[in-house]
Structure 1
Amino acid sequence: MSGDTVSVIRPRTHEEAAVAVRACGARGVVARGGPDRALGDAARNAGGAVLDMTGLDRVHVVDAAEGIVLCDAGLGLHRLAELLLPLGWSVPAFPAARHVTVGGAIGADLHGCAPDAAGSFSRHVVALELLTADGEVRAVRPDSELFGATAGGLGLTGVILTATVRLLPVETAYLTVGTERAADLDDLLARLAAPGTGRPHGYAAARIDLTARGAATGRAVLTRAGHAPRAALRGAVPRARRRPLSPRALQLLPPVGPLGSLVPAGIRYLAAPRAHPGRLRHLSVFRHPLDTVSLGGRCYGRLGRVRYQFAVGHGQEEALHRIVRRVADRRCPSARAVLQRLGAAGPGWLSCAVPGWSLALDLPVALPGLAAFLDGLDEEVAAAGGRVGLARDCRLRPDLLTAMYPRATDFRALRARLDPRGVFISDLARRLAL
């Protein structure tokens, strides 16, 4: 192999995965959850090998009494949700894009659509099996250093083979979804922090209108949702009452009202109700906003988009204000700007899930001066003690990594002990010297 050529290997057994790891060349190997849809370089390995883990997608054990599942890491979260829903259980910390695998959710320590209530995905992992560089399969528990390095470690400690995950109980396949408008960023933060917002299994996300400036900077449509109990289906269509846990509710549906991703942000804000207490919606309406429409050339032009996601802690709201003002004043045409309140910290040393606030932006690559502009935002985030999310990153400067992730030094030291030959590597790892 030479240049940017990549060898993609799709193992179907743990033994095949081990053989692929032992046989990788000088450019090493990294695992990923299927076709490369990532906007960053964490699952890319130019000149080396990539393991497509979707051939390992079995469910081994479901304990429907305790709400625990043991499954392969290559299993897609959406498929797992379809299997579990009729049993009255839901996947925790479900991400906004349904193609994510179990292993990918752990490797990125995704915080999902209910970050305040459920926390990040790895908080629900009871155990995992990890194929390390020496060919050994290790049982890894949440109280170990290896778990801390693997959760959010982006595949650099080894290949996650299986995971045991604790589930969330649900009575129906529906959500009660309500929307309201926040007049500015202060109003939005107050609404997100209000008692009851982070109720168990509750979802909350705000779509910020970045076209608004001045006193209206940060105005947003706030959508909240909670799993609907069986009693809420009394006035619903007969089919919903007969099959309250039907996996049909997970099918991808067109966006409703202000959730439409292609609707200009200003129009979305004005079209949203000032306050709507809630209505029954299928799970996918809220869970999969990134899959409802294509966010390709129609939004961002021929060169595509950059995903910029960061988190800052509680007490750093002024830094969040400054960043939102900078983005709004820059007139960045972002079709997606989502603010969420984060609860408990993720267990991973490189996890972006810290108690505070998370803002995700999609920005056109062709935006003039984008690289320098984002470098400035990085410095603002680092100065506030925040973190830029690494799972979708493709451009963070290495000198800012340790400022954002204090345990990056520990991560490097553990990697040096566990994988002295650098078997597990990615383009992101090379760029950030991880």
Structure 2
Amino acid sequence: MSGQSAASLQKKRAVALPTEQYLSWGRYPKTVHQHVHRPAWNDQLPDILRTAAPGSLLPYGLGRSYGDSCLNAGRELIDCRRLNRILGFDPDTGMVRCESGVTLSDILEVFLPKGWFLPVTPGTRFVTVGGAIANDVHGKNHHRAGTFGAHVRQLGLHRSSDGFVICSPDENPRMFQATIAGLGLTGVIAWADIQLKRVAGPWIDAGAVPFHSLQSFLDLSRESDGRFEYTVAWLDCFGGRNTRGIFFRGNHSEQRGQNSRPKWGPKLPFALPAVALNRYTIKAFNSFYYHVHAADQGASLVRYDSFFYPLDSIRQWNLLYGKSGFLQYQCVVPENNLEALEEILDRIARSGMGSFLAVLKQFGSAPPAGLLSFARPGLTLALDFAMRGEPTLQLLRSLDEVVRQSGGALYPAKDARMSPALFEASFPRWRSFVPCIDPTMSSSFWRRVTEAE
């Protein structure tokens, strides 16, 4: 076969491969998928959708969801990573059109040198645009900018039932609202128009302030939100309600620093033994981390990558938790129910199963961009727990009780074990979302929380 005819065939037909390689970032649960389609072009997607069995497909990006929302156990995935072209850019307005497999890292590498930055970014740059939309990701500037979905102006969607559909706040608005935070279930995003924001350069004026209680965190957050675009805190969760932490805040800077290229750290070659992370090593790390930052409270000029993506410098850091993987627990509770957050931290401290990645953020009042958007007014806490079997699951179920009673919610992008009852309580509009699901789409997460086949 000639090179030309092979390329032509590749364009006409997506590759379908049996696989055991597709995991979520938490590496739990372990799943096997029947097939993975790997389209290189958007015009391959209609054939995949047209020939698919009902409920058999799910789009997959970089697998940075932590639980099973990006998994489709026993069924099929559509790997969108080769759909990674930037299709257009307006240098006057900062509007970029890109395919769903383009990563946030790609956008930064191309457009930050031109003075444009992501309007909202999560804690990793290794996320596809499709994944950022499907999970309606949030960042350190939620109190100013809302979620990623709030900056999507338009998108093109492949559906098995309706063909190719243009969605925006003005055209097919219901499908647009369902696709944002839609967990990949409304179809396959072909491309999206994203509004970037103008910045002076890659530098951040950053500061760190220690605090010694949840109330002092809240006071710091309220005082900082008016002056700083980006705010977030790290917690030492072993302290229970008497926690200590470091409050980080920053703004884009017009100054120029040195070392303009990012520094990438080591790559973990294999999963560490489970005993490497225990209450003693985590306590030692937390103490070290707190004192290092508490001693360095002054303002500093730092690169954007070290401010927004500190863990990206350790490639495959998820292997730190061992072969069994880990579960991230991210909840949001109403701001006026600080007692719920105190009870959560107390239960974690009593369990002895602490986390060295404990992040606390106050969400703003921006309305939800999607029907299943997680971010809402309140306090969001995210913690990682090594998977130790039933003791870990029992602890998380006890935290669920506190979240449910407070009127809070769990984040689907981070979840691997939420009950159907808690999902329904967390997302009361979920039944309005159901009619927008593409007939060929399903996921392990969706079948679990809706008890569907």
Query: TM-score, with normalisation over the residues of structure 1?
Result: 0.87
The answer for the alignment partner of 1:223 in structure 2 is 248
Of the three residues 391, 409, 417, the one matched with 1:369 is 391
The 8 Å contact of residues 240 and 348 in structure 2, kept in 1 or not, is answered as: no
Q: State how far apart, in whole Å, the 2-side matches of 1:58 and 1:301 are.
A: 35
Counterpart-to-counterpart distance in 2, 1:290 and 1:167: 24
Shift of 1:431: 0.7
CA distance in 2, matches of 1:262, 1:162: 45
1:403 maps to: 425
Distance across 1 between alignment mates of 2:265 and 2:174: 41
Say which of 176, 184, 190 aligns to 1:161: 190
**Local SS of the residue matching 1:225:** strand
Distance 1:52 1:317 in 2: 41
- Secondary structure of 1:29's counterpart equals coil
- The answer to whether the 8 A contact 2:89-2:95 is kept is yes
Task: Please give the alpha-carbon distance, in whole angstroms, between the structure 1 residues aligned to 2:414 and 2:82.
Answer: 23
> What is the match of residue 128 of structure 1?
155
Match of 1:283 among 285, 299, 304: 304
Q: What is the CA–CA distance in structure 2 between the aligned matches of 1:13 and 1:316, rounded to whole Å?
A: 49
Q: 2:174 aligns with which of 141, 145, 152?
A: 145
CA deviation string 1:214-273 (max 9, x = no partner):
6xx2210111111111xx33xx44xx7xxxxx6x35x5469xxxxxx9971122112223
Query: Given residue 177 of structure 2, which amino acid in structure 1 is its aligned partner?
Result: G
Answering whether residue 363 of structure 2 is matched by residue 342 of structure 1, we say yes
Question: Is the 8 Å Cα contact of residues 210 and 247 (structure 2) preserved in structure 1?
Answer: yes
> Cα offset for 1:317?
2.1
* Equivalent-residue separation in structure 1 for 2:312 and 2:95 (angstroms): 27
SS at 1:44's partner residue? Answer: coil
Rounded Cα–Cα distance in structure 2 between residues aligned with 1:321 and 1:75: 40
Residues 240 and 345 of structure 2 are in contact (CA less than 8 Å); yes or no, is this contact kept in structure 1?
A: no
> Do 1:210 and 1:332's aligned partners in 2 also have CA atoms closer than 8 Å?
no
Structure 1 distance, partners of 2:352, 2:292, is 21
**Please, which moves more after superposition, 266-275 or 160-169?**
266-275
Residue 367 (structure 1) shift = 6.2
1:82 matched to 2:99? no
Deviations for 1:305-338, whole angstroms, at most 9, x for unmatched residues? 1111111233222222221222222222312000
Question: 1:43-54, aligned counterparts within 5 Å?
Answer: 43-54=70-81
Structure 2 residue aligned with 1:423: 440
Q: Distance in 1 between matches of 2:283 and 2:158?
A: 42
- Indicate the percent of aligned positions where both proteins have the same amino acid: 32
User: Are the aligned partners of 1:12 and 1:56 in contact in 2 as well (CA < 8 Å)?
Assistant: yes
1:11 to 2, 21, 39: 39
Q: CA deviation digits over 1:177-227, x for unaligned, max 9?
A: 111101111111110121x42546x2211110012246xx22101111111
Paired letter, 1:179: A
Shift of 1:97: 1.5
Q: Residue in 2 aligned with 1:94? A: 121
CA deviation digits over 1:269-311, x for unaligned, max 9? 122236623111111101113323253454x344221111111
CA contact (8 A) 2:64 2:127 kept: no
Report the equivalent of 2:22.
Answer: none
- The letter of the residue matching 2:412 is L
Q: Which residue of 2 aligns with 1:187?
A: 216
Taking the aligned partners of 1:252 and 1:4, their CA distance within structure 2 comes to: 31
Aligned CA distance change for structure 1 residues 292 and 274 (closer, same or farther; 3 Å): same
Partner of 1:304: 325
> d(CA) in 1 for partners of 2:37 and 2:311?
27
Q: Structure 1: which 4+ aligned runs deviate by more than 3 Å?
A: 1-5, 251-254, 294-298
Q: Does 1:68 align with 2:95?
A: yes
Matches of 1:142 and 1:378, distance apart in 2 = 34
Give the TM-score normalised by structure 2: 0.84
Give the deviation of 1:79 after TM superposition.
Answer: 0.9
Checking the alignment, whether the CA contact within 8 Å between 1:401 and 1:432 is kept in structure 2 is: yes
Shift of the alpha carbon at 1:138? 0.7
Distance 1:5 1:122, change over 3 A: closer
Matched position secondary structure for 1:269: helix
Instruction: Give the number of aligned pairs.
Output: 404
Which residue type is aligned with residue 347 of structure 1?
A
Q: Is the 8 A contact 1:323 1:377 kept in 2?
A: yes
